[in-house]
Amino acid sequence: MSYVLGIDVGSLSTEVVIMDREKNYEYVIVSTGANSRTAAERALQLLLSKTDRKKEEIYFTVATGYGRINLPFADKRVTEITCHGLGAHFLFPTVATVIDIGGQDSKVIRLDPNGKVVDFVMNEKCAAGTGRFLEVMARSLEVELDQMGELGLQAKKTVPISSLCTVFAESEVVSLVAAGHPVKEIIRGIHDSIAERTSSLVKRVGLAKDVVMTGGVAKNIGVVRSLEERLGVSLHIPDEPQIVGALGAALIAWEEKGW
Ligand SMILES: Nc1ncnc2c1ncn2[C@@H]1O[C@H](COP(=O)(O)OP(=O)(O)OP(=O)(O)O)[C@@H](O)[C@H]1O
Ligand SMILES: [Mg+2]
């Protein structure tokens, strides 16, 4: 049998997707850690043993994500924008806008009806509005990252976060806790702050339906709801939002194979 491979080496997580001729696919997700190259190799080994396949059966490998440059076994390297677009279009053929919020950047991509990128904007200069911001805040508030979404939804009001920078927002959050504000309300303020930044990014490319959200932050239901309120649309969330870039990379590899 032969297969193709898509790898997304992100700043926080690395995903590998293996795909067959019928476009059936399987994946693994690992943390990237300090060495992006060993993360990709580790993820590939895990996936091969999970699926009982051999490295020799892989015909073509496409890499994406910030660590794609560093991967010696990739046959081709493609930008995250293209890969997220293709991955989202494969899962949701009616998609016109993709919102990806990862660990260190956020992006909004406009697609034509064939899944081709027509425009995009990116915030890569600042951690605020990204998954890193949520991680810093979860640590300060001593809550689990994967609990934050639900906790924020339980709040009856929002305590707004006024600082625009992660470092200042962290001290603001510490002061708000000390002043006796309920943690759930602060969490809601944190989610609103990310949603606010993301919706201004969306406005720069213009909102077109359907809208798909990808990246790890799509697992935070608090951010998702807050963003839906601001945009006035409901977001489509893939079953596993973190693999969409790697899935798009695998689809490019599939085209290369000429199946
Ligand atoms: N189970 C979870 N619940 C809530 N949030 C999560 C969960 N898993 C991951 N996240 C969020 O997703 C973020 C990482 O997203 P993702 O894996 O898409 O990043 P990445 O692709 O490595 O980064 P980038 O694309 O910026 O290089 C984390 O910072 C965290 O905020
Ligand atoms: Mg990413």
| Residue 65 CA to ligand 2 centre (angstroms) | 6
**What phi-psi label fits residue 137: left (phi over 0), alpha (psi between -120 and 50 degrees) or beta?**
alpha
Q: Which ligand is nearest to the CA of 102?
A: 1
Distance CA(80)–CA(214), nearest Å, equals 12
Confirm or reject: Cβ of 12 under 6 Å from ligand 1: yes
- Cβ-based burial of 163 (10 A; exposed 0-12, middle 13-18, buried ≥19): middle
Distance CA(215)–CA(257), nearest Å, equals 27
Q: List domains and CATH numbers for the chain.
A: 1-92+239-259 (3.30.420.40), 94-237 (3.30.420.40)
For each of the chain's 259 residues, which pLDDT tens digit applies? Answer: 899 999 999 999 999 999 999 999 999 999 999 999 999 999 999 999 999 999 999 999 999 999 999 898 899 999 999 999 999 999 999 999 999 999 999 999 999 999 999 999 999 878 888 999 999 999 999 999 999 999 999 999 999 999 888 889 999 999 999 999 999 999 999 999 999 999 999 999 999 999 999 999 999 999 999 999 999 999 999 999 999 999 999 999 999 999 8
Name the percent of the chain in helix, strand, coil, to the closest 5. Answer: 50, 20, 30
| Residue 227 CA to ligand 2 centre (angstroms) | 19
Distance CA(12)–CA(25), nearest Å, equals 22
- Quick one: pLDDT at residue 180? 97
Q: Which ligand is nearest to the CA of 237?
A: 1
Confirm or reject: Cβ of 131 under 6 Å from ligand 1: yes
Tell me the HSE value of 218 on the side-chain side, using a 13 A CA sphere: 23
- pTM as predicted: 0.96
Query: Which of these, 1, 17, 7, lies nearest to 53 by C-alpha position?
Result: 1
Query: Which of these, 221, 258, 248, lies nearest to 98 by C-alpha position?
Result: 248
Tokens of 167: 């470092």
Confirm or reject: Cβ of 214 under 6 Å from ligand 1: no
Cis peptide before 210 (omega within 30 of 0): yes
| Residue 103 CA to ligand 2 centre (angstroms) | 7
